[in-house]
Amino acid sequence: MPKVTSGGPTRDHGDPGDAPTVPPPLIEPVNTVRPSAAEEARTIAASTNTGTLATLTEHGDPWASFVTYGLLTGDPVLCVSNLAEHGRNLAHDARASIAIVAPATQSDPLASGRVTLAGYVEAPDGEERTAARDAHLAAVAAARYYIDYSDFTLWVLRVQRVRWVGGYGRMDSTTGAEYRAAGPDPVTPHAGAAVAHLNADHADTLAAMARTLGGYPDTVAATCTGADRYGLDLRLDTERGLAYTRIGYPRPIDSVDELRSATVELAHLARGG
């Protein structure tokens, strides 16, 4: 089972979020288990097929450029032209990082999750080359038109260092090894409809969860902002202002199909069951 961090969000600096101050919980939340930074990073990397690569020019200057990628055990597989500036840069200096932004779910861009994967590129050989080629093609259908052109090179970015930012005030770092050992969340990418259903039809239950399980007995209303294999993220209107909390399921789930039974169980617990 993947490593799980518990407890509140990691904060690097004063929260510049929606409110000048966020009221703290009045009682200890019951279970704030959430995905590890490595899992969050794997989930973001799996959520799209485009990112921005940072490479070094011949003068050692930093060069940002748009790329597509597939994933091989979490390591990005790039297919770039040797005639393009980033292709020349990689051939000259293998150091690289890629920034990947999760598809936006909120109007404020800095509320989106994003990750930087840093390391160095290598051109894969033999069976790994076949697997890398397949991984790129699976993610980038249009690459079939150019992947075998002589001026294109397939590169695997060997991730050594990972920086994950989950939005305002949630962030952490991890190693390439932890990142590769983690798995992308099986629930998050498929939870949109279920989350919308919770908000549309079970707002009272969400508020009850926030009051008894989430540490905010003064909750007036609660909105679910996301679900993953470990629990639900809630945004709260409380008598003291806007707040956020986390409601972990009693046990992690493995697919979105288990989300209904997990939330029913949480509802039962929230009502003193």
Query: Residue 110, interface with a copy of itself (CB under 8 A)?
Result: yes
**Residue of the chain from 18, 134, 239, 254 that contacts a copy of itself (CB under 8 A):** 18
CA–CA dist 161, 117 (Å, integer): 6
Complete DSSP assignment for 206-266: HHHHHHHTSS-TTEEEEEEEEE-SSEEEEEEEETTEEEEEEEE-SS--SSGGGHHHHHHHH
Site for a copy of itself in 19-38 (CB under 8 A): 20
CB closer to a copy of itself out of 53 and 132: 53
Query: Residue 105, interface with a copy of itself (CB under 8 A)?
Result: no
CB closer to a copy of itself out of 66 and 272: 66
Site for a copy of itself in 55-74 (CB under 8 A): 55-56, 60-66, 68
CB closer to a copy of itself out of 142 and 200: 142
CA–CA dist 38, 73 (Å, integer): 13
Residues 166 and 40: beta-carbon distance below 8 Å: yes
Taking CB under 8 A as the binding criterion, the range among 70-78, 110-118, 175-183, 222-230 that sits at the site for a copy of itself is 110-118
Q: How many residues bind a copy of itself (CB under 8 A)?
A: 51
Burial class of residue 89, CB neighbours in 10 A (0-12, 13-18, 19+): buried
Site for a copy of itself in 189-218 (CB under 8 A): none
CB closer to a copy of itself out of 65 and 199: 65
CB closer to a copy of itself out of 49 and 219: 49
CB neighbour list of residue 261: distance below 8 Å, 6 or more residues apart: none
CA–CA dist 52, 50 (Å, integer): 7
Taking CB under 8 A as the binding criterion, the range among 33-41, 103-111, 242-250, 251-259 that sits at the site for a copy of itself is 103-111
**Residue of the chain from 116, 212, 219, 245 that contacts a copy of itself (CB under 8 A):** 116
CA–CA dist 228, 5 (Å, integer): 14
Query: Residue 91, interface with a copy of itself (CB under 8 A)?
Result: no
CB closer to a copy of itself out of 52 and 223: 52
Query: Residue 136, interface with a copy of itself (CB under 8 A)?
Result: no
Query: Residue 140, interface with a copy of itself (CB under 8 A)?
Result: yes
Q: Reduce the DSSP state of residue 176 to 3 states and report it.
A: helix
| Gyration radius of the chain over CA positions | 21
Helix axes 259-270, 192-201, angle to 10 degrees: 30
99 - beta bridge partners?
52, 116
Instruction: State in angstroms the smallest separation of the CB of 17 from a copy of itself.
Output: 7
Residues 79 and 136: beta-carbon distance below 8 Å: yes
Site for a copy of itself in 153-182 (CB under 8 A): 163, 165
Question: Which residues contribute to the site for a copy of itself (CB under 8 A)?
Answer: 12-14, 16-18, 20, 49-56, 60-66, 68, 81, 83-85, 95-99, 101, 108-112, 114, 116, 118, 140-142, 145-146, 149, 151-152, 163, 165
